[in-house]
Amino acid sequence: MTGVGRVGSWLAAHQLPIEPDIVTIGKGIGAGYWPLAAVLCREPVYVALAEGSAEFDLGHTWDGAPLPCAVGEAVLEYIVRHKLVDRVHDAGPALLAELQAAMKEFEIVGEVRGRGFLLGVSLVDPRDRKSFLPHELDAATVVDDIAFEHGLLVSSTHSTPDGYTGDEVLLAPAFTTPDQELHEMVERLVETMKAVEKAVKAKL
């Protein structure tokens, strides 16, 4: 979800002051057409393995299967040819700014954050605008259901019963989404949150 261009760089690690030795990737390299994952490693790691056991035992039945590998190659070629990582990088900041501005009116919204086309909206108790919502409200499901009624697919995460995390709303549009549809996504989320806030306040 976070790699292969999603945050505006090929890997999320590319935006951090680190150089990972080993990275696992998935989802994005198959683009939803075929399940596919991979492990990437730097040359010193590869050489150490090659000169040692010469084994990198990760695979099972589908290890190295030609069809998913062909799909992955086609997806990566398409991303490069259409400069989709650059598109996400360039469009991401404006999308985040628009989303942040649109969510300011809601007492139920806490932090709005993200990079590229991976955006999150945290939900809070409107009574103090900082505490997590009560777990029993199941606010994440309320958001998912109302968003769907407004023609919007979101991926909400639920709070934990122990109060460690609260409800969150995840937006992850396709890299090829036109600017107008990105704007429409924000508009539909606004309408969604109006209904969610009303429903949550009624339950509280």
- Work out the pLDDT band at 59, boundaries 50, 70, 90: low
Residues 75 and 103 in one domain: no
Domain for residue 77, yes or no? yes
Contact 38, 24 (CB under 8 A): yes
Contact 4, 29 (CB under 8 A): yes
Residues 128 and 45 in one domain: no
What is the phi/psi pair of residue 84, to 5°? -70, -30
Q: What pLDDT digit, counting tens, does each position of 138-195 carry? A: 999 999 999 999 999 999 999 998 889 999 999 999 999 999 999 999 999 999 999 9
Query: Of 64, 81, 98, which residue constitutes the final position of a domain?
Result: 81
Residues 142 and 189 in one domain: yes
Query: Of 46, 66, 81, which residue constitutes the final position of a domain?
Result: 81
More confident residue, 40 or 59: 40
Nearest residue to 91 via CA among 190, 5, 4: 5
What is the phi/psi pair of residue 6, to 5°? -55, -35
Average pLDDT over residues 72-86: 96
- Work out the pLDDT band at 56, boundaries 50, 70, 90: confident
Domain limits at 154? 86-203
Question: Which run of H or of E encompasses 176?
Answer: none
pTM to 2 decimals?
A: 0.89
